[in-house]
């Protein structure tokens, strides 16, 4: 199996968006407490990106993890943007509440991949990176330049990453995107091992992925990691959906009804959302972010929770889960 790097021990990981100050200005000390809580809960898969906080998240992960035995955890980061230090007045507007002083540009050439990996190793202080994701090569991020950047990646990033994997420099690579099409395009053009699928598959929204993504990755022998499996906090009660303030029509009612049924079976919608994602054989890990140590602990409790089959049957009978979607056995 291609992506055996992520085992049963890595079914729950920690994502680095919140630690990059996506939703609030988390301090260095607060990020340390979150990472320590994850380590203490025996979470051993950590994912970040230089994009998160304009390199802030990557530095924070590295500061914590470089003190650990490198064989004890799996670490992934991303390529696709190159960063240049700039004066504070020139930092571009982004979603980050407290980014570092960097500007960036998208670049998916082979040379950019090598430089990006070198920069990530320098920022984190780690000896190697296990998984490299090609980040945000997707229309929602690069707009109508998607065909141009995809062609650039086919000639550059995809080939270089396969070469680095074959040389043993990295252990696996794939796409890290918010849309289905780029994963399908990558599978057609190259030989990825594992893809980070964000905002495509959750208990609230999964029909398109069930029909198109899951069969394609299964056929290609590619595994998936779930990013934004809680729709960037919406499932946990936040009024944001997939990193935006616009909530899709009908979603509030759907969330409310699933939460109501969960309560009936002595569980909650967050724990159910975690189990729903991992019920698919294609998903080997889910990596929710955390803004507080308590969220990390709750995710671990959720992983170990027992949810009765009657709960899933009721969701299906009410049409709250797509009839073809895998559910926990």
Q: What's the CA gap between 325 and 207, in Å, rounded?
A: 7
Q: Which two tokens stand for residue 102?
A: 């960097």
Residue from 47, 107, 130, 268 carrying the catalytic annotation: 47
Does the annotation count 102 as an active-site position? no
Q: Is 52 a catalytic residue?
A: yes
Neighbour tally for 137: CB within 10 Å: 27
Tell me the β-bridge partners of 15.
47
Is 171 part of the annotated catalytic residue set?
no
The catalytic position among 9, 40, 45, 78 is 78
Measured CA to CA in angstroms, residue 201 lies from 33, 214, 225, 230 at distances of 29, 10, 10, 9
Out of 45, 52, 133, 146, pick the active-site residue: 52
Active-site residue set: 47, 52, 78
């Amino acid at each position: 199996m291609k992506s055996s790097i992520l085992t049963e021990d890595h079914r729950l990981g920690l994502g680095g968006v919140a630690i990059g100050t996506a939703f609030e200005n988390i301090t260095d000390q607060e990020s340390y407490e979150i990472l320590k809580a994850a380590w203490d809960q025996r979470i051993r898969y950590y994912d970040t990106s230089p994009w998160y906080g304009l390199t802030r998240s990557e530095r924070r992960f590295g500061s914590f993890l470089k003190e650990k035995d490198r064989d004890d955890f799996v670490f992934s980061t991303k390529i696709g943007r190159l960063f240049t230090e700039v004066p504070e007045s020139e930092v571009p507007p982004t979603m980050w509440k407290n980014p570092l002083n960097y500007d960036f540009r998208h670049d998916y050439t082979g040379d950019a991949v090598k430089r990006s990996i070198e920069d990530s190793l320098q920022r984190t202080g780690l000896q190697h990176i296990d998984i490299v994701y090609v980040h945000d090569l997707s229309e929602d991020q690069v707009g109508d330049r998607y065909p141009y950047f995809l062609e650039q990646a086919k000639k550059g990033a995809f080939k270089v990453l396969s070469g680095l994997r074959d040389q043993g420099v990295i252990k696996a690579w794939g796409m890290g995107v918010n849309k289905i099409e780029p994963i399908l395009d990558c599978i057609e053009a190259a030989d990825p091992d594992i893809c980070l699928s964000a905002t495509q598959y959750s208990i609230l929204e999964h029909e398109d992925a069930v029909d198109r993504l899951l069969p394609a990755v299964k056929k290609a022998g590619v595994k998936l990691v779930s990013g934004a499996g809680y729709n960037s906090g919406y499932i946990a009660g936040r009024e944001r959906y997939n990193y935006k303030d616009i909530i899709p029509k009908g979603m509030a009612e759907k969330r409310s009804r699933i939460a109501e049924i969960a309560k009936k079976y002595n569980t909650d919608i967050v724990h159910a959302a975690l189990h729903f994602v991992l019920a698919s054989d294609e998903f080997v890990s889910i990596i929710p972010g955390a803004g507080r140590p308590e969220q990390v602990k709750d995710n671990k409790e959720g992983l170990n929770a027992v949810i009765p089959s009657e709960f899933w049957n009721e969701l299906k009978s009410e049409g709250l889960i797509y009839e073809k979607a895998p559910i926990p056995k």
